Structures are given as structure tokens and as C-alpha cells.
Structure 1
Amino acid sequence: MSPLARQIVEQACARGVTVTCAESCTGGQVAAAITDVAGSSAVFAYGFVTYSNGAKVDLLGVHPETLEAHGAVSEEVVREMAQGARVRAGADIAVAISGIAGPGGSEFKPEGRVCYGLATATGVTAQTIDHGALGRAEVRLAARDHALSLILGALG
């Protein structure tokens, strides 16, 4: 069990805050980490795994124009993913993840590049982290853990 996820559930319960996630390259690992914690149903109702662009549009309300202009792995898209997840789940905090887990990538979007969005009542932020070409499983774990740390930071 992830210590970060346990802290999220404990702090969110103590504050009466709900959380959700919109995941692409992590494929549900953030939701799984949170729901591995007993009592998580008090703070986590559901999350979104939106691996395809169509799912990002249909389930989260990401604008097709944003995807076309910036690509799925972009701060612009994760901002829209996070805000869409927060609104649709009725959550206080939402994190979004989209990245290149590998293998492969491109000169402009290398393996290990992951964009994160965080939506709260006060606004939406985004950041990009190049985790490096760690291999698919390790990039996904690094992305999961960073997303959990973003939620935890928003609870602080």
C-alpha cells in the first residue's frame, strides 16, 4: 500500500474533502492506490481512465481544438482533464496525468515526459516533469507517485 495514498485518505477524511483523478498513461494506478486504503470510499467516489483522445473529450470535456493544437501530452490538455474530472465527479480536488510511458517517444515528447494537472476550488495548475527513460513500468509508478504527492500537497 502506498504511504502517500494512506496520508491522502487520512487527511481528506479529517478535512471532509473529496478527491478524484483523470488518468491516461497511468491507466488507473492513482485510483487503485487510493482505493487500496480502507475507508477511501469516504473521500473517493470514482476516477476516470481516459487513455484515448476521444475518451478525454467525451468523459472529461477536453476540447478537441486543445488536443489538436497541443497534443494529449501537454499542460493545456491536463488542465482541461483535471477541471473536467473535478466538475464531473463533484470533487474538491482532481489530479490529471498524461504522458509518454514508453517505450519510445519523440524528439519533442521523449519517453518519461509526463504532464500533470491539479484542479481545486481556487484554480487549475499544470506542470511537466521529465522522469527519464526509466522503462514503461517505472515511468508509470513515478507518475502515480507524483500525482499522489500533488493531491497530498493540495490537502496541506
Structure 2
Amino acid sequence: MTATEFLTYMDHFIKFSKPTTEEPVLPLLDNHSSHVDINVVEKAKANSIIMLSFPPHCTHMLQPLDVGVNGPFKAYCAKAQDNWLRNNPGKTMSIYEIPGIVKTAWPLAATPTNIINSFKNTGICPHNPDIFTSDDFAPSFVTDRPFLEVFVLDCVSSFFF
């Protein structure tokens, strides 16, 4: 997506969400460059749209579609692809089979229940500020150790063993 394309989408979004100063609209976005383009931000501000961007590297926990729809969609796509391959032995799957796979997988993944649970599991609706613990954002063991300690231990173990 480019900033120009997203600006066109914003026109569509404004037309159908009908934001006003009394009832502004809050879209939840990732930090894609098209979302933070100055023309997009100015259009949003002029039309009572308050844009909220998720912090980088957190969309897998905070973005509703990533949490509850995209995962099942990928799984259903994989299953539909496996079924196609079993039903078409010896044939090579091409780009022309993709729409049929998506047609099968999308309705199974984008269910009202999955979508509602996506917002619930991210703590967006109903609002739950305690949905995540500090452990959810803790560094991994590898990055939690000081560099010098890791370097020295690796050198010592290489020398003696």
C-alpha cells in the first residue's frame, strides 16, 4: 500500500464512518509508512479522525485481525491447499488456484465469533488494560544477558572444551 492509495481509502473511510467533532472515529493502525504520511494525517485531523498506531513489533499481540483472523485464515488456506494437491495429483498449483483456496478459507476464518474474540483477546473491547502481564513484553533469555558475559563464557568454553 502506498500513501496515495491509503489517502484514497481514507476518503472511503470518511464517507462511510461519517466522523464529526462530536463523534470522532478512532482507527487502529500499524506503523506502515502509508498510515503516517503527512497528507493522510492532515486529512484525518481535518475530518475528526484520531489515528492510533500500535507500537512496532507488537501487532501480533495488539492488532485484532492478526490475533484472531489471520492465523485461522492461514491454517484454513494450508488445509485447502493440501486438499487441492490431494485432489489433483501430479498437477502443479498455479496462481489461478489461489482464488478458489481463498474462497474456501476466508469464510471459515472471518467469522463474527473470531472477529469479536479478536477485539476481546487484545483488550480493546471490552476494554481490559490488564490483558497483558509484564512477562508478555519481557526480553528473551538470549537478549536479556549482558554481551560481555556471553562473549567471555563462549570464549572460555571454546578454549577449554
Normalising by structure 2, what TM-score? 0.29
Between structures 1 and 2, the one with greater strand share: 1
Structure ID, larger Rg:
2
Relative contact order higher in (CA < 8 Å, ≥ 6 apart): 1
Between structures 1 and 2, the one with greater helix share: 2
Normalising by structure 1, what TM-score? 0.29
